[in-house]
Amino acid sequence: MAGKRVVMVVDMQQGVFATPRIQREQCVAQINRLTLAADQVIFIQHAEAGGLEEGSEGFALLPELEQPSGALFVTKTACDAFYRTELEQVLREHAIDSFVMCGCATDYCVDTTLKNGASRGYAITVAEDAHTTANRPAAPATTLIAHYNEVWRNLTVPGNPVTVKPVATILNDWQTN
């Protein structure tokens, strides 16, 4: 992974975690490892009525999440962080065409943003052990996380495959490039 080391952190907010998420502490620790090693970090934050209003306690990032100086922030109102936001403009302004994704929720905002980003031509690596979700009526969180890691590994985007790697491998790749 040559070039700028960029991490996009999706929806790691206090209000999002009002719904219990699996392995919160491990997920935050892995994200912190990435953000501390990155050249650029982009925090995506979801805003909506009912506890995620901009400026509210629920909108704020988790207090244990490292926020490096110079981090960029994009607010969204849909699962897709590209939908009616400044994300693409921010990426263009900072000459970012590849990034590592992590955050919450695996099966909603991470998945939707990843698929839209890959379709737009961004080279995306998913940190397979740095995203989380809640148990859902159809499947437990652990099953959903494993399922989406497998879906992303096999996602068909001709000429722009999504990569799925553990944080340790991503960090090792960054050190060797």
Distance CA 35, CA 84 (A): 25
Give the model confidence (pLDDT) of 14-56 as tens digits. 999 999 999 999 999 999 999 999 999 999 999 999 999 999 9
Longest dimension (CA), the chain: 45
Give the model confidence (pLDDT) of 132-158 as tens digits. 999 999 999 999 999 999 999 999 999
- Residue 62 DSSP code: P
Question: Would 142 be classed as within a structural domain?
Answer: yes
Distance CA 35, CA 37 (A): 5
Query: What is the number of structural domains in the chain?
Result: 1
Question: Would 1 be classed as within a structural domain?
Answer: no
Question: Would 56 be classed as within a structural domain?
Answer: yes
Q: pTM for this structure?
A: 0.96
- Cα 97 to chain center, whole Å? 15
Question: Would 35 be classed as within a structural domain?
Answer: yes
Cβ contact 10:109 at 8 Å: yes
Which residues, 6 or more positions from 99, have their beta carbon under 8 angstroms from its beta carbon?
6, 7, 8, 42, 91, 122, 123, 124, 125
Range of the domain at 116: 6-176
Residue in the structure block whose two tokens are 């509210």: 56
Give the model confidence (pLDDT) of 51-78 as tens digits. 999 999 999 999 999 999 999 999 999 9
CATH of the domain at 102: 3.40.50.850
